[in-house]
Amino acid sequence: MAPALRLEILARSRATGARLGRVTTPHGSFDTPAFMPVGTRGTVKGLTPEQVARTGSQIVLGNTYHLLLRPGPGVVRRLGGLHRFMGWPGPILTDSGGYQAFSMADLNAVDDDGVTFRSIVDGSAVRLTPESATRIQNELGADIIMAFDDCPPADVSERGDPGPVRGAGRRPLPGREHSERLSVANERTVRWLERCRAAHARPDEQALFGIVQGGTDEGARRWSAERVTNIDLPGYAIGGVAVGEPPEDIARVVRFTTPLLPEGKPRYLMGVGYERDILSAVLAGVDMFDCVLPTRNGRNATAFTPGGTLRLRNAAHAEDPSPIQEGCDCGACSPLTLEQGVSGPDEARKGLARDHFSRGYIRHLFMAGEMLGPILVSLHNLRYFQRLMSDIRRTVRDDDWQGFVRRWPQAAAGWTPSPSSPA
Amino acid sequence: MAPALRLEILARSRATGARLGRVTTPHGSFDTPAFMPVGTRGTVKGLTPEQVARTGSQIVLGNTYHLLLRPGPGVVRRLGGLHRFMGWPGPILTDSGGYQAFSMADLNAVDDDGVTFRSIVDGSAVRLTPESATRIQNELGADIIMAFDDCPPADVSERGDPGPVRGAGRRPLPGREHSERLSVANERTVRWLERCRAAHARPDEQALFGIVQGGTDEGARRWSAERVTNIDLPGYAIGGVAVGEPPEDIARVVRFTTPLLPEGKPRYLMGVGYERDILSAVLAGVDMFDCVLPTRNGRNATAFTPGGTLRLRNAAHAEDPSPIQEGCDCGACSPLTLEQGVSGPDEARKGLARDHFSRGYIRHLFMAGEMLGPILVSLHNLRYFQRLMSDIRRTVRDDDWQGFVRRWPQAAAGWTPSPSSPA
């Protein structure tokens, strides 16, 4: 049986815990540290796969929860699997659906066997168990699939049991992290991981990753990391962070947990995040990230730049001829020269074609409700994150963190690197 | 003063009135017969200029009415003019805003000087006159600008005066075409054309086209054509057709009117249309077309194919692995191979990357409300129309209409060409 996934570590930072690597899957390789755009329903919103690839993205994420509800894993499988379905021939990772089943459903009931929730598409009752979540991901066919874990809302210990909680507005864990519910969840996650592994029907084609939970409590994290990594898997993730807690807590939990994961396997920090969170995690030795920020903020007219975000609906941009970011090579700041169709005076054409879309134009698109606004800012933001990752990879290789901090002040967020003390 | 526009006629069909040409503008050339995608608010909805160019589009249309209301012509001018603003370095045509002022405004009052209507953006009263419509188009800076004409709703002769009429739902002209209002409109259009020409501040950079009106009445069309073409301009348009009348009437009016326009100048049939309408007009000698059909239908999940339209929300497509159209070379039926970002096993990657988006996937995108659905079908439909035009141009050159009818049954719509009798 050939392994579904292989990590080569190509360089290690001497000054920090960061490492440069390359992960190879049945659908190609990606460089680490890697950022995965989120393609929730089989599409990175508003972009063609070609446009996504041009941002430098090498692996994308799909959401099992959404694809389960619509169009259903059988449809995806019969249309050739998720790669073929969404036209993305490179590596794909799917989550297990657990996070959404616990956080998005209006009604959910969890027991030792799994969770039942109401479909956001048609209101019907849907059941997910470790076995079904794994089987569904087997049908979708992603290169990396995630364990189905018990993820109670972050405010569980104040409320006793999970209730309706929506989206990312979950409160951080309070002081009493060792509530009954959290402890149950932590133990259940390990039992469920064994069941996921037993149910996994395509281990030679799909790499199953386990997920370490434990909230912001270091004891719970250590317990979870030991039990989860005791189960031999091709990679491990850190779950349950960046659910509303302050960045210092994210950094602390990640710094504590990452070294507890095996050195020779990919380490994936789920759902993170802002530039500073990514940098901090990279310095602790994390290899993989995903987040909706670049595309969700792109749709909301918020653009990332190395100096901070821009709100492009702001009236100040109405007549601003500048690009979102000077020197950026994205499809909004530096669109491709038209390749065909236009002929005529080459001088005028080339001069214009090399030009950027202005902030004033992009603001106009948002004010008029035109699709091209979200498209252009999503293109920019994804390219921004991929240039950040690319620069991080070069910096790991060269171990030149002083230069990195100058180029990415927003990511460094005040951090002053020194050769002896990692962030 | 250099002419703003030049038409070369490269070939004439012997069997029909069709001609093959090339129009050169300050921003490049386009081949005729030409189809112009509609970029109402400075964007062809959902597509980047690069994607539009890849469909084979060489000239696009912008709407003065919409750009006047938002962001305003001054903003467009200060951001470098419409080409620079929307990132389209090739030829652009703008309409005068008259059609929308008469048909879209909730309230409009027309007099001998112009029209006053309520802004759909902020409800304020807006005034358009021949002078202001021309000045606004001078600010926008398109290569071809249109005269401001009096366009009463198609049902005017039954109602006495124009009232609130929205969009394309206008009823065809009834029998009493020579109502007072229509006659006034026809005469006013000629007087306004003189005023547009007098107000035109950039005749060496922008070609002003006059518009022939007259509804479905041949006498009124002849009168209008004589008066309008009496004014020496770089091109002429046929307005007021395809506003709800049957295709036979469209064809009849166009066949009657087109030969009344100067042979050596571009002839533009405004707002048309379906494939059969385009073919019929080409055979009468029309050179330019624009229509929202490919993009509007694309957003509504309706795809054009040579054999007829497909409704992609239809449940029949749910698990259909076929492309919208076999053999189509558009960005949905034959997307570009990913150019960068993805590495790994070349075999698997190339095989997948050359594949099309399936009807099942596109249906899923529409059912889930994903932007990529409208984007892919708009790409397909625009490419479909541009392949139609490209095939029409080849057919004019070779005068092989039998072959054309076999390849485009929907466009031919039962027409049987013969060498001696044009359609």
pLDDT per residue as tens digits for the range A69-90: 999 999 999 999 999 999 999 9
A112 counts as catalytic = no
Chain B residues whose beta carbon lies within 8 Å of the beta carbon of residue A28: 342-345, 348-349
A398 counts as catalytic = no
Select from A5, A47, A83, A338 the residue whose CB has the most chain B CBs within 10 Å, as the one to mutate to test that interface: A338
- B372 touches A: beta carbon within 8 Å: yes
Chain B residues whose beta carbon lies within 8 Å of the beta carbon of residue A365: 41-43
Domain match, B286 and B305 both: no
Angle at B165 between CA B163 and CA B170, to 5 degrees: 120
Q: Which of B46, B71, B341 sits opposite A56 (nearest CB)?
A: B341
Partner-chain contact B361 A90, CB within 8 Å:
no
Partner-chain contact A70 B370, CB within 8 Å:
no
Contact between residue B65 and residue B104 where contact means Cβ atoms under 8 Å apart: yes
- A8 touches B: beta carbon within 8 Å: no
Select from A27, A48, A322, A339 the residue whose CB has the most chain B CBs within 10 Å, as the one to mutate to test that interface: A48
Q: Which of A47, A79, A338 sits opposite B89 (nearest CB)?
A: A338
Assess: ipTM above 0.85. Answer: yes
Catalytic annotation, pick one of A111, A290, A355, A398: A290
Catalytic annotation, pick one of B31, B95, B161, B232: B95
Tokens 């053999």 belong to B327
Q: Supply the pLDDT for residue A203.
A: 97
Q: Which of B70, B90, B343 sits opposite A29 (nearest CB)?
A: B343
Q: Residues 345..364 of B with a Cβ closer than 8 Å to A: which?
A: 345, 348-353, 355, 357-358, 360-361, 364
Distance from CA of A205 to the nearest CA of B (A): 13
Q: Supply the pLDDT for residue B159.
A: 33
Identify the closest residue of chain B to A390 by CA–CA distance.
B341
Measure the CA–CA gap between B254 and B260, rounded to whole angstroms.
10
- A39 touches B: beta carbon within 8 Å: no
Q: Which of A49, A55, A371 sits opposite B45 (nearest CB)?
A: A371
Would residue B364 count as lying in a domain? Answer: yes
Would residue A418 count as lying in a domain? Answer: no
Measure the CA–CA gap between B372 and B421, rounded to whole angstroms.
45
Residue B415: alpha-carbon gap to chain centroid: 23
Domain that holds residue A231: 6-291
Q: Supply the pLDDT for residue B312.
A: 98
Would residue B420 count as lying in a domain? Answer: no
Q: What is the pTM of this model?
A: 0.93
Domain match, B244 and B114 both: yes
Q: Supply the pLDDT for residue A62.
A: 98
Would residue A247 count as lying in a domain? Answer: yes
Domain match, A314 and A352 both: yes
Catalytic annotation, pick one of B31, B290, B391, B400: B290
Q: Which of B261, B291, B321 is the last residue of a domain?
A: B291
Going by C-alpha positions, the residue among A48, A149, A51, A147 that lies closest to residue A94 is: A147
Q: Is B64 exposed, middle or buried (0-12, 13-18, 19+ CB in 10 A)?
A: buried
Q: Supply the pLDDT for residue B383.
A: 98
CB neighbours of A201 closer than 8 A, spacing ≥ 6?
A: A134, A135, A138
Going by C-alpha positions, the residue among A28, A57, A335 that lies closest to residue B341 is: A57
Identify the closest residue of chain A to B51 by CA–CA distance.
A338
- A110 touches B: beta carbon within 8 Å: no
Domain match, B60 and B167 both: yes
Domain match, B98 and B206 both: yes
Ordered alpha helix ranges (H), A356-371:
359-367
In order along its 423 residues, chain B shows pLDDT tens digits of 567 899 999 999 998 999 999 999 999 999 999 999 999 999 999 999 999 999 999 999 999 999 999 999 999 999 999 999 999 999 999 999 988 888 876 678 889 999 999 988 898 999 999 999 999 999 999 999 999 998 876 655 433 333 333 333 344 444 554 567 788 889 999 999 999 999 999 999 999 999 999 988 999 999 999 999 999 999 999 999 888 788 788 899 999 999 999 999 999 999 999 999 999 999 999 999 999 999 999 999 999 999 899 999 999 999 999 999 999 999 999 987 654 344 444 444 454 455 799 999 999 999 999 999 999 999 999 999 999 999 999 999 999 999 999 999 889 987 888 754 444
Domain match, A364 and A281 both: no
Q: Is B396 helix (H, G, I), strand (E, B) or coil?
A: helix
Ordered alpha helix ranges (H), A5-142:
49-54, 64-69, 73-78, 82-86, 98-103, 130-140
CATH of the domain at B268: 3.20.20.105
- A27 touches B: beta carbon within 8 Å: yes
Partner-chain contact B41 A370, CB within 8 Å:
yes
Domain match, B287 and B311 both: no
Chain A residues whose beta carbon lies within 8 Å of the beta carbon of residue B358: 79-80, 85
pLDDT per residue as tens digits for the range A286-300: 999 999 999 999 999
Number of domains in chain A: 2
Q: Residues 178..197 of B with a Cβ closer than 8 Å to A: which?
A: none
Q: Which of A178-192, A198-212, B306-320 has the lowest mean pLDDT?
A: A178-192
Would residue A422 count as lying in a domain? Answer: no
Would residue A245 count as lying in a domain? Answer: yes
pLDDT per residue as tens digits for the range A101-151: 888 766 788 899 999 999 888 989 999 999 999 999 999 999 999 999 988
Backbone angles phi, psi at B94, to 5 degrees: -115, 140
Which DSSP symbol is given to A307?
T
Domain match, A118 and A248 both: yes
Percentage of chain A exceeding pLDDT 70? 87
Identify the closest residue of chain B to A371 by CA–CA distance.
B46
Q: Which of A291, A316, A342 is the last residue of a domain?
A: A291
Would residue A341 count as lying in a domain? Answer: yes
Distance from CA of B360 to the nearest CA of A (A): 7
Quick one: tokens of B329? 């070379």
Percentage of chain A exceeding pLDDT 90? 74
Q: Which of B28, B370, B376 sits opposite A45 (nearest CB)?
A: B370
Domain match, A271 and A303 both: no
Domain match, B10 and B85 both: yes
Domain match, A82 and A19 both: yes
pLDDT per residue as tens digits for the range A327-344: 999 999 998 765 434 444
Select from A50, A77, A122, A337 the residue whose CB has the most chain B CBs within 10 Å, as the one to mutate to test that interface: A50
Domain match, B261 and B388 both: no
Would residue A402 count as lying in a domain? Answer: yes
